A and B are shown apart, each in its own frame.
Chain A
């Protein structure tokens, strides 16, 4: 057993174990304080609020109940309905496909940018980032213009009979996906690009040398190498996409409600905080499950 006050070297610095611990604690404190104040405490408040009762005027009444969770699971006064579960499930599906489409679009985009001469790469990356500089709501409204009945997109859709003549291409699921993917594409592209730029092409050549098909070359030589960037992108997209409410609200309409809208509604117009908190808990659990599945699946191909 080493003595606690014995001198050790720490990356070239002479110090003691005790001093290091003290310094570590000091450096950790602000961050921990921040997390406690703005993550752990609100989280606990959410848990508490989700198990109390809503008063007649929307105030909180401090009696314990699991009624909010029962309601989320679909049990109402008039029997069981899958409405809320459907909204949760739809949110998972939308988040999943938003992420998937963003990934599918990002790969060619990243390889394209990485293949540009060094000077123009930054221009291309800037083009990817520029939408970030615009407010999300404004970007969602921009789609109104693009999908308006006067422009060829809506006309084309009307020609094929997808929408009535003279109608805009919103609100519908298609518009939600358009908005979501355009919103989240940079979240996948940027981290993925960092991985693609560092790609060791010798592995691609080795795969080709060893008779691998295009698909096999991608899954064995490219995917494992880009996994770190891809993981960051997937998490950065999937998690906020699960709770997104601006885009579905504007582009999806009432019929395409997602869980984000539902929560917003409970805390806003419905003034039912306990039920809103219960839905938030449900969303959190679903997000965790989604990430866990991804982690499991990802591990099979992840670089050790």
Chain B
């Protein structure tokens, strides 16, 4: 029925032309994505961009106004949640408070009337895998946030879903734990080889975890690719700012480069527009005492921010943000040379506003 689907993505997840409206608000506007089997895919975007709605449509908790969802090449658009081989880790974890951790994890298997011995085997395996064996007989309210999150993960994974959906699963954890859980989650996904789809507004989470990610904004996918692709070559100023920090420099086209408020900047490739924006990441700006050969800017440090592993400098004219790669402290008021090397400058596709 779907002859135009790519056979490799047939085994993974495909959403096609999904459209969803709540009242007057368009939550999803013609979203099409392919997720390969075994891929860790992230939907990244600010709150209200439609990422959670898309996840809920995949889970079967929401119905798209139009468009289709395929898993393994099979159209599941009209299947209810209980018939989908998809499980979700909810943002609030949604653990059953009256059930023990063991029973919470066994819930899906009991629903499907697995024999007790089989349930015991599977649940114990997940308990061990996620280091929860000691808590099997406790209740959710006796657990810490990190433990609850692992229970929610175990409860979903024990059903061996074709696709695991994670709805901002780390938003309730503190920053330190979150960093560790992100890596754990990544490792777990590699080990299991299952398709994971993560929804988050945390760009570092998306960068750490994903094989590929899609940046969403106002119900649309703005850019889709590997973390490196998207980080190094953001297509527009929204992606550039949302994924990491960026200096956005308004400019007009000039022969061999662009004309900016700081003067002429040479580019490797001429932009397609007449007036627009070029971007450079703070850590890609060169800093030194000597004038560089090309694209040098004489600037004065106005503010420094200590980051532990480096300093962030704010400089005039600009303001420009520069991330030093060393502990070298440059006091405010000093004049330095900045180098905006052509290969580090990214031409953004959106028009100047």
* Residues in chain A within 8 A of chain B (CB atoms): 200, 202-203, 205-213, 216, 220-221, 224, 301-304
Contacts and interface: CB of A to CB of B under 8 A. Distances in A.
B96 A209 contact: no
A210 B141 contact: no
B111 A206 contact: no
Contacts of A205: 61, 81, 88, 90, 94
Interface residues of B, number: 27
B94 A200 contact: yes
Q: What secondary structure prevails in chain A residues at the interface with B?
A: helix
Given A205-B61, A208-B61, A208-B82, A213 B111 contact: yes
Interface string B66-83: 000000000000001110
Contacts of A210: 87, 107-108, 111, 155, 159
B97 interface: yes
21 contacts: A200-B92, A202-B94, A203-B96, A205-B61, A205-B81, A205-B94, A206-B94, A207-B111, A208-B81, A209-B61, A209-B82, A209-B156, A210-B111, A211-B82, A211-B112, A212-B82, A212-B111, A213-B82, A220-B99, A301-B98, A304-B98
Contacts of B80: 208
B17 interface: no
Given A206-B90, A209-B87, A210-B87, A220 B107 contact: yes
Contact of A221 (B60, B87, B91, B96): B96
B253 interface: no
B59 interface: yes
Contacts, number: 68
A224 B97 contact: yes
Contacts of A208: 60-61, 80-82
A303 B155 contact: no
A74 B303 CA distance: 96
Contacts of B111: 207, 210-213, 216
Contacts of A304: 97-98, 139, 141
A202 B108 contact: no
Q: Which 7 A-B pairs have the closest CB atoms?
A: A210-B108, A206-B94, A211-B111, A202-B94, A224-B98, A208-B81, A212-B111
B295 to A, nearest CB: 52
A117 to B, nearest CB: 13
Contacts of A202: 90-92, 94
A224 B141 CA distance: 14
A211 B92 CA distance: 19
Contacts of A212: 82, 107, 111
A113 B59 CA distance: 28
